[in-house]
Chain A
Amino acid sequence: MQSAWTLLSFGPDGWGDDLAHGVLVTVSLALVTLPLGLLIGFLVALAKQSGEPSMRLAGNIYTTIFRGLPELLTLFLVFYGAQIGIQQVVRLVRPDAVVEINSFVAGMVALGVVFSSYASEVFLSAFRAIPRGQYEGGYSVGLSPRQTMRLVILPQLVRIALPGLSNLWLILLKDTALVSAVGLTDIVRQSSIAARVTKQAFMFFGVACLIYLALAIISSFGIGAIERWVGKRAAQR
Chain B
Amino acid sequence: MSATDGTTVKVQRPAAPPRGWSRERIVGWVLVCLWIALGAGLATYLFSAWNPELFAKYAPSYLSGLRVTLVLVAISIVLGAILSVPICYARMSKNRVLNAISYGYVYFFRGTPLLAQTFLIYYGFGSFRPQLEAIGVWGFFREAWYCAVFAFALNTAAYQAEILRGAIESVGKGQWEAASALGLSKLQTLYKIILPQALIVALRPYGNEIILMIKGSAIVAIITVYDLMGETRRAFSRTFDFQTYLWAALLYLSLVETLRHLVDWIERRITRHLHR
Interface of A toward B, CB cutoff 8 Å: 47, 50-58, 61, 64-65, 67-73, 76-77, 80-81, 84, 170, 174-178, 180-181, 187-188, 191-192, 195, 199-203, 205-206, 208-209, 212-213, 216-217
Contact = CB atoms under 8 A, between A and B. Distances in A.
Contacts of B214: 70
B24 A73 contact: no
Contacts of B124: 195, 201-203, 205-206
A216 B233 CA distance: 31
B216 to A, nearest CB: 7
B72 to A, nearest CB: 13
A130 to B, nearest CB: 19
**4 shortest A-B CB distances, which residue pairs?**
A54-B28, A202-B124, A58-B31, A55-B28
B95 interface: no
Contacts of A195: 123-124
A70 B127 contact: no
Contact of A72 (B24, B125, B229, B236): B229
Contact of A69 (B125, B127, B253): B253
B117 A181 contact: no
Given A52-B28, A71-B215, A177-B115, A213 B108 contact: yes
B120 A72 contact: no
13 contacts: A52-B22, A55-B31, A56-B28, A58-B32, A65-B253, A77-B245, A80-B245, A170-B111, A174-B114, A192-B123, A202-B124, A202-B127, A206-B120
Given A47-B31, A70-B252, A80-B236, A175 B113 contact: yes
A205 B252 contact: no
Contacts of B126: 201-202
A178 B216 CA distance: 10
B195 interface: no
B238 to A, nearest CB: 14
Nearest to B34: A58
A209 B127 contact: no
A202 B125 CA distance: 6
A182 to B, nearest CB: 11
A175 to B, nearest CB: 7
Contacts, number: 142
B112 interface: yes
B242 interface: yes
A51 to B, nearest CB: 8
Given A81-B242, A177-B113, A212-B116, A68 B257 contact: yes
Given A52-B25, A212-B113, A188 B245 contact: no
Contacts of B117: 209
Please classify how large the interface on chain B is, using the bins under 10, 10 to 19, 20 to 34, 35 or more: 35 or more
B46 interface: no
Contacts of A61: 35
A116 to B, nearest CB: 15
B37 interface: no
B179 interface: no
Interface of B: 22, 24-25, 27-29, 31-32, 34-35, 107-108, 111-117, 119-120, 123-128, 214-219, 221-222, 229, 232-233, 236, 242, 245-246, 248-249, 252-253, 256-257, 260
Contacts of A68: 252-253, 256-257, 260
Given A57-B32, A73-B248, A212 B112 contact: yes
B18 to A, nearest CB: 15
Given A68-B256, A69-B253, A76 B119 contact: no
Nearest to B121: A205
Contacts of A206: 120, 124
Given A58-B31, A70-B229, A52 B123 contact: no
Nearest to A181: B222
A202 B129 CA distance: 11
A84 B240 CA distance: 10
Given A47-B28, A70-B215, A188 B115 contact: yes
Interface centre among A51, A209, A213, by most chain B C-beta atoms within 10 angstroms, is A209
Nearest to A26: B113
Nearest to B125: A202
A64 B229 CA distance: 20
Contacts of B218: 70-73
Contacts of A84: 242
A50 B123 contact: no
Nearest to A76: B245
Contacts of A81: 242, 245
A73 B252 contact: yes
Interface centre among A53, A72, A80, A212, by most chain B C-beta atoms within 10 angstroms, is A72
A64 B261 CA distance: 12
